[in-house]
Structure 1
Amino acid sequence: MYKINDYVVYGSTGSCEIVDIVMEKDISNNDTEYYVLQPAYDNNITIKTPVNNPKVLMRPIMTKEDVLSLIATMPELEPILASDDRHKNESYKAALKTGQSEEWVKIIKALYIEQQQRLEVGKKLAKADDDIMKAAEKNLHEEFALALNISPDEVHPYILAHVH
């Protein structure tokens, strides 16, 4: 069980702080314990989820050592590849929902490669792909920022400086 002030990755929402743990009646009028989550970089929303909710992935954010280890393996990580656009989009969405940083890196790598190929012929990334890439980058950068104690804007330059 997590504690107040712990940081977690909550589904596809990304990095959140547990700001409270409350006991309330659920829809069946049973007493249920809830985590009250605040997205780490968005103070405008609060999320309440049952402590024992098996439907939503929730995990602790990575440690600084985990982040440095993932950065070191980034060059070897294979991007997510799919045979056609429909399967590609489904693969990206499924990988995004895993809440796993390594999967976010694979999405970003795949879409970065595609973005570069499209730029060479004067085209932009499809909107759906651009949205997925932005979501994966947001989640990855926010988690890395918390683990490294830097701002999300500093994460990309940090990664570039540490990838060999």
Structure 2
Amino acid sequence: MFNKGEYVIYGNVGVCEIMDISTLDIHGAPKDKLYYILKPLNQSKSTVFTPIDNKKVVIRKIISKEDVETLLSDIKNIKELLVEDERFREKAYKECIKSCQCRKLLSLIKTIYYRKEERLHEGKKLSATDEKYFKIAQDNLHAELSMSLKVPIDQMEDYILDKVQHS
């Protein structure tokens, strides 16, 4: 169980602050069930209510600063996704996003980045699907790493590139 004031990753919503843990006074909600009341950092006007025993959506602590440093020092060894059948590409992308794991998000980002380079070399553009999942993965990863490292989110791409170039 998490505590009020902690920051967590909540599914595709990303980084959220736990504002409260309580029952809900909403018609239809069980009166004895506890909920996390979450405030997404990237959606200031939103509030998420989720049962503390929710098994359908990933909820976990944000990655530690030490784990970020380890992850970034190993970035060159993170493998790209292997998608042998193009019909299943989006499914593979969705699974990476849904996992909420930084390593898988980096794998997805690398996959799409190299795919983009290859397609540009062939005189083609990146597909809308690739662009969409690249942005989701990058936004989710940058938000979490920014929170862990206390680096402004708009500086995360440069921070990561600097770490990669010097490792």
TM-score range normalised by the length of the shorter chain: over 0.9
1:88-103 superposed matches below 5 A? 88-103=89-104
> Which TM-score applies when normalising by structure 2?
0.93
Deviation at 1:28, TM superposition (A): 6.3
1:121-160 superposed matches below 5 A? 121-160=122-161
Q: Distance in 2 between matches of 1:29 and 1:144?
A: 36
Deviation at 1:111, TM superposition (A): 0.2
Alignment match, 2:24: 24
The worse-fitting range, judged by mean Cα deviation, of 118-127 and 52-61 is 118-127
> Which TM-score applies when normalising by structure 1?
0.94
Deviation at 1:121, TM superposition (A): 2.5
2:94 is the counterpart of 1:74: no
Alignment match, 1:58: 59
Structure 2 counterpart of 1:22, one-letter code: S
Gaps of 5+ in 1: none
% identity of equivalent residues: 35
Indicate the SS of the match to 1:32.
coil
Q: Distance in 2 between matches of 1:49 and 1:92?
A: 25
Is the CA contact (8 Å cut-off) linking 2:23 and 2:31 kept in structure 1?
no
Paired residue total: 164
- CA-based RMSD of the aligned residues comes to 1.4
Runs of 4+ aligned structure 1 residues displaced above 4 Å come to: none
Q: Distance in 2 between matches of 1:132 and 1:95?
A: 10
Structure 1 counterpart of 2:100, one-letter code: G
Is the CA contact (8 Å cut-off) linking 1:81 and 1:88 kept in structure 2?
no
Indicate the SS of the match to 2:100.
coil
